[in-house]
């Protein structure tokens, strides 16, 4: 029996400990939903398009981990931008373009629901404020509004 307890304890201790559901933090917008990870990911893509932006990149470790025999919660980073914003940002700060596309993060929660979160574009662009000036600040505010609209549409099903 002792050997069984030792083996079971070793097995439990070797299981990955997931960091848990994403929590609000400074400079971020965090929107927990009742949607599943798959539904929210699909809703985000649709909301991006309906709000005049483009999904530029997508990446996530979930499927790659599954191919390795590892099960992890759904996790997808969706890069969002468009050429109009790119050209306008470049007119203010070459360095600020390193932040494009700005990312939306869809994460699966422990209870099977999903959370949409992102760093506020104004927060992302803040390090370039001296170089980009008022024009970059205005672009960042426009992006804040666009990302807020995307989040609203994706989380309320208005897309």
pLDDT digits (tens, 9 = 90+) for 106-122: 999 999 999 999 999 99
Question: Which overall architecture, per CATH, does domain 2-156 show?
Answer: 2-Layer Sandwich (3.30)
* Per-residue DSSP letter, 136: H
Residue 71's H or E segment, with its range, is none
Closest CA to 76 of 52, 100, 60: 60
Q: Indicate the length of the chain as a whole number.
A: 159
pLDDT, tens digit (0-9, with 9 covering 90-100), for 13-47:
444 555 678 787 899 999 999 999 999 999 999 99
- For 26, counting Cβ atoms within 10 Å of its Cβ (0-12 exposed, 13-18 middle, 19+ buried), the class is exposed
Domain ranges of the chain: 2-156
The pTM score is 0.85
């Amino acid at each position: 029996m002792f050997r069984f307890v030792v083996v079971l304890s070793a097995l439990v201790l070797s299981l990955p400990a997931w960091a848990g559901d994403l929590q609000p933090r400074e400079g971020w917008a965090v929107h927990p939903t009742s949607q599943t990870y798959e539904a929210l990911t699909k809703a985000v893509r649709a909301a991006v398009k309906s709000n005049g932006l483009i999904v530029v990149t997508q990446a996530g470790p979930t499927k790659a981990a599954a191919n390795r025999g590892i099960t992890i919660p759904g996790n997808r980073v969706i890069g969002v931008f468009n050429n109009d914003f790119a050209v306008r940002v470049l007119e203010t700060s070459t360095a600020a373009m390193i932040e494009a596309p700005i990312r939306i993060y869809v994460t699966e929660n422990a209870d099977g629901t999903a959370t949409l979160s992102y760093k506020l574009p104004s927060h992302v662009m803040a390090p370039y404020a001296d170089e980009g000036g008022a024009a970059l600040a205005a672009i960042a505010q426009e992006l804040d509004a666009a990302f807020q609209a995307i989040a609203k549409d994706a989380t309320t099903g208005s897309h």
